[in-house]
Structure 1
Amino acid sequence: MVAESTEADWVSRLADDVIAESERRAPGKPVVVASGLSPSGPIHLGNLREVMTPHLVADEIRRRGHEVRHLISWDDYDRYRKVPAGVQGIDETWAEHIGKPLTSVPAPRGSAYPNWAEHFKAQMIEALAELGVEYDGISQTEQYTAGAYRQQILHAVRHRAEIDAILDRYRTKKPAAKPAQKAGQKPVDAAELAAEEGSGAAEEDDGSGAGGVGYFPYKPYCADCGKDLTTVTAYDDETTELTYLCACGHIETVRLAEFDRGKLVWKVDWPMRWAYEGVIFEPSGVDHSSPGSSFQVGGQIVGPVFGGEQPIGPMYAFVGISGMAKMSSSRGGVPTPGDALRIMEPQLLRWLYARRRPNQSFKIAFDQEIQRLYDEWDALTRKVQDGGALPGDIAAYGRAVGTARGELPATARPLPYRTLASVADITAGNEEQTLRILSELDPSRPLTTLDEVRPRLDRAENWISAHVPADQRTVVRAEPDRERLAALGESERAGLKLLVDGLDSHWSLDGLTSLVYAVPKVLAGLEPDAKPTPELKTAQRSFFVLLYELLVGRDTGPRLPTLLLAVGQGRVRRLLGAGE
C-alpha cells in the first residue's frame, strides 16, 4: 500500500477527536460511527457524503488498530412521502401508497426486489461494496417490527410532556432570511445556495399535530390501510392502552407495550437511536444546522430524555454535479453512486470525497470536466510515486486507493482517461480497433490485451456512450473533402506535406504530438523545438483546424495525436490528399 501521511489531514484530526470521545464515553468498547440513509427513491451522490465522511474516519481509526463499527441505518420504516420523478417502472398509481412504510410500497415494475425500499437499497449496497465501504446495516423496519425499541418507545411516551416542552422552544424559530445580492456582487454559487436551502429533512413532523391526547411522539401505522394518517385519541399510561383514529375511518385500540406497527416521530427517533446504539460520531447535512432542525433538537432531547449524548461530527456541505442544479431524490434524474461508478473508477470517486473537508462543497463531473479530473488524479499519482506530493495530498491519495483492509482493485496500466475516451469515441467500442490504436501509443511497450487498461477503459467507453451527445461524437470522413483540398493555399499544402512525410517516423502518441506542433514552426522557418510565440500559437491553431476539417468535418475534435493514431496511417494520407 502507498505510504501514508496524516499531516494536515481532516480525516486524521476527526479520528483523534472521535477516539478521545469514545474513550471518555465508553472506554474499552468499539468506537461507533453512524450514517442514515432513506431509500425513498434513488440514493444520490449527495447522500453518499453521509456515508463517506464517517467511513473515512472509521477507516482511519481501524488503521490505528482500534475496533470500530460503522452503522448504516436504513430508514426504511419511514413513511412514503411522495412519488419521485424520473423513476422508471412507476406511474401516478404509486400515489396510493403515500403514508405507508417504504418497505410496504411496491417496487417499480420489473424490479427483482420485494418492495420499494429494498429496490433502492440494493443499488446503494452494490456501490458501497465497489467503494470498499465496510459497515453494519440496520433495517429500521426490522428493528421496529421486532420490538427492539419497545422500551425506548414506552419511555418516550411517558416523557412526552418533557419532549413537547423541548420541541416547543424551537417551533416558532425561523431560519434567517438570505441577504439580497448587491449590485456588482459575485453571484452565489449554485452548490452553496442549494446547501443553504437544505433537503427538507428538518421539516419532518415532530408529533405536535392535533389529537385527543395532545402531543404524542409516536405514530401508529393503520391496521386497515397501512398508512400513518393516524391520530392518537386516547392513551392510558398505566395500561399503555392506545386508541387511534385513521383518516381512512378505521379505529383501533392496542396495548403499546405489545404493539410493533408504528414508530417514533423523527425528531424523537433519531436521539433515541443515538442513545440506544451509543453513537460517538455522526455528521449531519446543512439542513440540520438551522434552529429547530432534527440534529439541533435531538441534541436537546437525547440527554434529558434518553440519558445519552449527542454524537460529535461536522456539518457536511452540498455535493453538486457539473451542469446540474441541487440534487433531490424527489425531482428525479439525480445521479447515484452507481451512475458515477459506471464512468469513473472507485479510487477517483473516493478521492473526491476524501480531499475536501466535509464543510466544503464540491462537484462531481459527468460532463467534459471528468477528463480534467482524471488528469489531476493521474498527476497526483505520479507525484505520490515520485515523492513530490504534499502531506495532505498523500493522505487523501492513500484513503482513495484503499482501506485498512488493503488496496482496491485497480487498472493495471492506467492510460490517460481522455485518450481512452477519444479512442472509444472513434472506434465506437470495436475491441480490435481499440487494441490496435492503444498498442501504437507507445511502440516500445505495446499493449497486448485490453484487460491491461480495464476497468478504466470500460468507464471511458460508458462515459462516451452515455454522456456525450450524438452531435458531439467523432465521425471520421469516409471520403476526402476534395473541394476543400482543391482550395488549399500554398502554405496549407506545405503543412500537410510536412505532416504526411513525418507520419512514419513519428507514429506514436509522443511522436505525433511533437510532429503536429512542429509543422507550423518549420513553416515559419523555426526549429521544431522552438518556444511558441503568440503568432506561432495562432498558426498552430489554424493548422489544427485544417486537420480537423479534413479528417472529421468539424473545426475541433479529440486530441490530434490520438485521432491520427485512431484513423491509421493509410487513411490519414488519403484524407489529407496524399493519395489523390
Structure 2
Amino acid sequence: MARGQQGPPTDWVTRAADDALRHAREGEQVTCSSGASPSGPVHLGNLREFLTVHFVADELARRGVPVRHLHVWDDYDRFRKVPAGVDPSWADHIGRPLSAVPDPWECHPSWAEHFKEPLRDALHELGVDMEEVSQTERYRAGVYRDQILRAVSHRDDIEQVLARHRTKEVDADSAATVDDLARFPFKPYCRQCGRDTTTAASYDEESTDLAYDCSSCGFSGVTNLTTQHEGKLVWKVDWPMRWAFEHVDFEPAGMDHATPGSSFTVGHELVESVFEMPRPAWFGYGFVGFAGMQKMSSSAGGAPTASDALEVLEAPILRWLYVRRNPRQTFDIDFGPEVVRLYDEWDALGRKAASGKRDVAVLAHERASATAMAGQLPTSPVTVPFRVLSSVTDVTAGSADQISRIVSHVGHAHDSVAELEPRLTKAMRWTTDYVPPADRTTVRSAPDTARLASLSPQEQEWLSLLLSGLGSDELDLDPVTSLVYGVPKLARGLDLDAAPTDEVKSDQKEFFRLLYNLLVDADRGPRLPTLIVALGAERVRSLLGG
C-alpha cells in the first residue's frame, strides 16, 4: 500500500473474524457458535448472542471462508420456575427438561418450542442463517456418549478445576475425589418422575452403571452411561464438552459469564485439560436494555423481544443497533420518541453510504443492510422519513390509502402503497402502540366556536391571510410551508421570502400555537405544513372558520 494511503475500514467484526481464523484448524470449516436456553421469551439482551455470532460468521462468508453459524438450543436444561401468568400447577414440572414440559398455551409441542418459534421467525426476517442443534436430541440419541464417559472418568480433575474457582473456600476434607459422588459431573433425569432431582449413589467404572436416588418421588434406579441416555452433564462441564465436540472456533459470552470463576472461565480450563481441545476465541459482550415501552405483544408486558422490536424497526435498523457498537458497550433500545431520531440517523447514514464514502460508520451500514447468504434485506422502495409517516398516520387514523395520497403531496412520489412498505406498517404500529395517548394528535371534529369568537384583530388577520393563500385545490408541501411561515411576515408588510425579524419570529410562535389550538386542541403537534396538507384545504377551512 502506498505511503499515506488508507486501507479499508476495520471494525470489531473484522477483528473477531481474524481471531476466529487464527483459532481455526487449517483447511477446515470455521465454526462460530451461539447458545441459548428457550426457558422464556428471548429478549433483546439475548439477541446480542445471536447477532454477534452472526456478524462474525457473515464476515468470514464475505471473504469466501467456509463457515457455519452453529446455534445450540439448551432445551435439555431443567425447567426452573413458573413465571407469572402461567397456571401454578406447572410447578409440578420444575426439574424436568424444557423439551418435556407441556406448552401451557397449547400452541406448540413443548415449553421449549413455544419460545423457539417466534425467535426463528424474527431471525429469518433479520437475515440470520444458522445451523440449529437441540441438546435434547443430542443427549437422548447418545451422540455425546464418549464425551460423557470421558468427563466421568476425569471427574477428579474436573473437581480440582471447579474447586479452584469457587467463590467460597472448599474445605480439603469436603472436596470431591474419585470416590466422592457429591459433585458427580453427570446428572440423570429420574426414570420415574422425569426430574433432575437426583443424587448419585454409586458408580461402577467397569460397567458404567450409575445408581441414583430421586428426592422428588423417592425412586432409586440405575442408568447405564454407555447404553442408556437419561441425563446430561452439569452445565460447567457441558459447555466445554460442546466446544470440543463441535470444534468451536469462536463463541462470545455475556459479561456475567466472562467474570473470574464463571462457567466460561472454568470451561476454558476444562476444554483443554479434560477434552484436549483448544479453547475458542471469544470476547464478553455488554447488557442491552430498553426504554419507551407502552405496550408489548409477545412478551406480555415483559422484556421486549426481537419480534416486538421488528414491529416498529426495519430489520436493517435493528441489526445496525448491534453492529455499530463495540460488543462490550452497553446500550438501551428506546421505543419512545427516540425511534423517530433513530430513523433519521439511519436515513442520513444511507445517503452517506450512497455517496461512496468509506469509513467505519458506512461499514456498519453495509453489514446491517445485507448478508452474504440472504443478500440485501428488504427496505421500502420509496424512503419516506419515519417522522412524516408517523405524523400522517396520526392525523389520518391509520388509513393507508390516505397516508399514501398525503405522502405524495408532501414530496414523496410513488405508484402504490406497497412501495412504502415495510416502513409504513411499522410507523403505523409505533404510532398506535408506543406513542402515549397524551402525545397523540387528535384532530378536532368540529370548529372551536368559542375560541374563534374571541380572536384578536391580529389573529383574525393571520387566519385570513392563511385561508386566502391556501386556495381550494389539493395542497402541496412546499407552497404550504412557505405560506405558514410567511403569514406573520405578510401581516407586518414583508414579502414571503424576507428574512424573519425578531418580531416576526415571536409572531410565528403565537400563530403556530393558535393553529394547533384550532386544529388539534393542543399547543403543539405534528409539523404544521404536513398537518395542513394531511387535513386538506376543505377541512382546514371548516376548522378555522373559513
The answer to whether TM tops 0.5 is yes
Q: What residue ranges of structure 1 are gaps of 5+ in the alignment? A: 175-206
Work out whether 1:487 is the aligned partner of 2:454: yes
Work out whether 1:47 is the aligned partner of 2:46: yes
Q: Contact (CA 8 Å) 2:95, 2:197: kept in 1 or not?
A: yes
Over 3 Å counting, the alpha-carbon distance change for 1:446 and 1:323 in structure 2 is closer
Q: Contact (CA 8 Å) 1:85, 1:330: kept in 2 or not?
A: no
The one-letter code of the counterpart of 1:94 is W
Work out whether 1:319 is the aligned partner of 2:288: yes
Matched with 1:12 is 14
Which residue of 365, 381, 394 corresponds with 1:425? 394
Q: Contact (CA 8 Å) 1:233, 1:243: kept in 2 or not?
A: yes
The CA deviation at 1:514 is 3.1
The one-letter code of the counterpart of 1:420 is L
Matched with 2:100 is 104
The one-letter code of the counterpart of 1:480 is P
Which residue of 419, 429, 434 corresponds with 1:467? 434
Matched with 1:407 is 376
Matched with 2:422 is 455
Matched with 2:3 is none
Matched with 1:371 is 340
Q: Contact (CA 8 Å) 2:293, 2:434: kept in 1 or not?
A: no
The one-letter code of the counterpart of 2:206 is E
The one-letter code of the counterpart of 1:428 is A
Which residue of 138, 147, 156 corresponds with 1:143? 138
Q: Contact (CA 8 Å) 2:475, 2:536: kept in 1 or not?
A: no
Q: What residue ranges of structure 2 are gaps of 5+ in the alignment? A: 1-6, 170-174
Q: Contact (CA 8 Å) 2:23, 2:280: kept in 1 or not?
A: no
Q: Distance in 1 between matches of 2:278 and 2:478?
A: 60
Q: Contact (CA 8 Å) 1:84, 1:330: kept in 2 or not?
A: no
Identity %: 53
Cα deviations across residues 215-252 of structure 1 (Å, max 9, x unaligned)? Answer: 21111111111111111111111211111111121111
Matched with 1:336 is 305
The one-letter code of the counterpart of 1:563 is L
Matched with 2:4 is none
Q: TM-score, normalised by structure 2?
A: 0.92
Which residue of 529, 538, 541 corresponds with 2:509? 541
Q: How does 1:146-545 map to 2 (within 5 A)?
A: 146-172=141-167, 213-247=181-215, 248-323=217-292, 333-387=302-356, 389=357, 391-405=359-373, 406-442=375-411, 446-504=413-471, 507-530=475-498, 536-545=504-513
Helix, strand or coil at the partner of 1:260:
coil
Q: Distance in 2 between matches of 1:532 and 1:397?
A: 39
Q: Contact (CA 8 Å) 1:41, 1:330: kept in 2 or not?
A: no
Bigger drift between 39-48 and 463-472 goes to 463-472
Bigger drift between 268-277 and 512-521 goes to 512-521
Q: Contact (CA 8 Å) 1:82, 1:330: kept in 2 or not?
A: no
The one-letter code of the counterpart of 2:257 is H
Bigger drift between 287-296 and 498-507 goes to 498-507
Helix, strand or coil at the partner of 1:62:
helix
Q: Contact (CA 8 Å) 1:83, 1:330: kept in 2 or not?
A: no
The CA deviation at 1:526 is 4.8
Helix, strand or coil at the partner of 1:66:
coil
Which residue of 120, 126, 143 corresponds with 1:125? 120
Q: Distance in 2 between matches of 1:358 and 1:31?
A: 21
The CA deviation at 1:49 is 0.5
Bigger drift between 460-469 and 497-506 goes to 497-506
What RMSD in Å do the two structures reach over aligned CA positions?
2.5
Over 3 Å counting, the alpha-carbon distance change for 1:518 and 1:16 in structure 2 is farther
Q: Distance in 2 between matches of 1:437 and 1:63?
A: 41
The CA deviation at 1:53 is 0.8
Bigger drift between 93-102 and 129-138 goes to 93-102
The CA deviation at 1:537 is 4.5
Q: TM-score, normalised by structure 1?
A: 0.86
Q: Contact (CA 8 Å) 1:84, 1:331: kept in 2 or not?
A: no
Work out whether 1:92 is the aligned partner of 2:91: no
Q: Contact (CA 8 Å) 2:32, 2:53: kept in 1 or not?
A: yes
The CA deviation at 1:16 is 1.9
Q: Contact (CA 8 Å) 2:474, 2:536: kept in 1 or not?
A: no
Over 3 Å counting, the alpha-carbon distance change for 1:6 and 1:323 in structure 2 is farther
Q: Distance in 2 between matches of 1:531 and 1:310?
A: 67
The CA deviation at 1:386 is 2.2
**Matched pairs, number:** 529
The CA deviation at 1:536 is 5.0
The CA deviation at 1:6 is 4.6
Helix, strand or coil at the partner of 1:258:
coil
Q: Contact (CA 8 Å) 1:512, 1:561: kept in 2 or not?
A: yes
Q: Contact (CA 8 Å) 2:519, 2:543: kept in 1 or not?
A: yes
Over 3 Å counting, the alpha-carbon distance change for 1:239 and 1:403 in structure 2 is same
Q: Distance in 1 between matches of 2:299 and 2:129?
A: 28
The one-letter code of the counterpart of 2:311 is R
Q: Distance in 2 between matches of 1:227 and 1:330?
A: 27
The CA deviation at 1:446 is 3.7
Helix, strand or coil at the partner of 2:256:
helix
